[in-house]
Structure 1
């Protein structure tokens, strides 16, 4: 089996009108398909570039948000989410646009956290205050009106075999 990318990522919103406004007006993602569901809900699709889409379900009786379980509670201080949850969505952007896009988010009243472009590297902390040769992704993090953590991510170098150097961890299970 060979996939050719992600068709769409489906998330759940609390208010479809607010979500449409944020994704079309703030992020500039065209709304290209809307569906009325037989149970009274809605399913809307936004073009996030590269032939990919981000979609939202809305139901009048959806369960409430669960920060710290199904979504990030407070990035970067409390970024863990539950097994099976979606932690965040990262959108590819050109590196030379990161500062401009960050500024536009702030001007639109979006809380961007932390208060800088994050330089991801292989240091013990995993981030650097400055861009250097070892930085592999630069990111801007923020949340949408539903509390969904989003990332604008710019890959800064090609990856090679040397980038896969950690053994996968195993869960510790209690003996029965």
Structure 2
């Protein structure tokens, strides 16, 4: 097999998708298929009244193999496309900007060693490709530090170090490194059901 001597990818890390009901997705991937739940995240945001309320969930289902972090990731958003007719093509007004259509692919993730992230940023910049560098923390809630077309060194406690960019057709790609703190991230959030979303 031919080797990649530019980015030194370590294989496909994950595929991220949108779902209509996290409880239903959990029951299928974890309950039926037996995939372990590696990590869970709940996102908070402000509603129209300025109150901080639960907005979405992100579950990571392990797929096994040589990479212990390889997974299928699902996003669920209370005001996402799961609450709009499936024929809707454009994002409805008021929909969370991170929400995606059900069964639509969010992004493809390629794993690299942590020390290669800055080099990836440099190579993308040299190629004239726009990118976003992102580091994420849990201090005390989920926090993201974004750098557009640049690199910001992760601080102690960083969970994951990522670079996002798009291919010529608009497919979103992520080059990612999981850092040691990520292993301590919890996996105990209760999955939300679309049927009970209005009760939160």
Could you say which structure has the higher strand fraction? 2
**TM-score scaled by length of structure 2:** 0.44
**TM-score scaled by length of structure 1:** 0.49
